[in-house]
Amino acid sequence: MIAALAISQRLDAPRIASAINTISRAQETSPPFFEDVVIDQNFSPDPFIVRGMSGGSVPGREIARRRETPTGTCTGYFDEEPDHTIELTSKFDYLKIEVRSPEDTTLIIRGPGGSWCNDDFDGKNPGMIGEWLPGTYYVWIGSFKKDRYFPYTLRITQIK
């Protein structure tokens, strides 16, 4: 039995090495997961993409500290802590931040000047476009329904 196990382990070694190499290559090409971002003018790559999982149990109005903002109603459910922080090192005359997910997600951003909420910017995907002041922005990605968690990508771009 021990000899059979040793032979089995030797036969699996190439497959394990192959799997590790595949994971390493995927990590090099896949957007980071729950990463914080520092952006200056003319950042690259554009769009800059990070990933995460939406959702939580805290109502959006508690995170945003209001029920509605000029960019939309503060709907959905979120984790208490932000999913990302985005530090803008300078003023942006135009910046677009949007979430892409196969399910219904919502967005809250708190930063210089207040809180902004959005749901259904593009279909069921939230987003925001506009002029952005320099500073740190806290970003929460929620799910429309409580305690539902979905994968997403957060895209940040200067391209109109």
| pTM confidence score | 0.80
Sequence-ordered alpha helix ranges (H) in the chain: 2-29, 60-64
Res 87: pLDDT: 97
| Beta carbons of 37 and 153 less than 8 angstroms apart | no
Structure tokens at 151: 């994968």
> Mean pLDDT by 10-residue block, N- to C-terminus, for the chain (160 residues)?
34 36 42 84 94 97 96 96 97 97 97 94 95 97 96 96
